[in-house]
Amino acid sequence: MKLPTKQATLLFLVKDKKILLAMKKRGFGVGRLNGVGGKPDGNESIEQTAIRECQEEIGVTPDIIKHVATLNFYFPIKKSDWNQQVMVYFCTKWKGDPEETEEMKPSWFEIGDIPYDDMWKDDKYWLPKVIDGNYVDAEFHFDDNDDVLNYKVKVRA
């Protein structure tokens, strides 16, 4: 399958066996918990995108980010403009305190109590593997209701 041409980022703050998830308040993914992130502006690198989006969405500036997964998402024809390759990052050191913005409402969750039912349906397949310290390459195909039709998850220790 051809890789999506659109790239995006997803960044999760992780500290003391907790992970920061943010409720998307508008736009793509509204009503779902997720990391923060988005699409590149102009010629910025994908890493610069992850940092900028974190600053804009929750008021935090990451010091160090670690690339932990590459996810390819495919949607039905009528949503094919949603197809994207997402670079996922974990951040354990940052400046500032997460705050609510017009776009996101952040909350901390214990690693063992992540509310996967309030997230995208794919997250339960790859996020636990990344939390366990693995690098993940994955591909997800969704139906019209954003349910996962099929997927492949490859773990690199």
**111-152 pLDDT, tens digit each:** 999 999 999 999 999 999 999 999 999 999 999 999 999 999
| Domain 7-156 CATH assignment equals 3.90.79.10 | yes
What pLDDT does 29 receive?
84
Count the neighbouring beta carbons within 10 Å of the beta carbon of residue 11.
29
What pLDDT does 86 receive?
97
The domain segmentation of the chain, as residue ranges, is 7-156
- Whether 104 has a pLDDT exceeding 80, the answer reads yes
Average pLDDT estimate for 46-67: 97
Please write the tens of the pLDDT for every residue from 55-64.
999 999 999 9
Average pLDDT estimate for 29-56: 95
- Whether 27 has a pLDDT exceeding 80, the answer reads yes
In the structure encoding, which two tokens stand for residue 35, read together? 């990391």
CB 104 within 8 A of CB 58: yes
Give the helix, strand, coil percentages of the chain, each rounded to 5. Answer: 20, 45, 35
- Whether 11 has a pLDDT exceeding 90, the answer reads yes
Please report the DSSP string for 121-136 in residue order.
TTHHHHHHHHHTT-EE
Closest CA to 126 of 90, 151, 149, 157: 151
What pLDDT does 128 receive?
98
Residue 113 CB burial class (10 angstroms; 0-12, 13-18, ≥19):
exposed
Pick the more confident residue, 27 or 34.
34
What pLDDT does 5 receive?
80
What pLDDT does 1 receive?
66
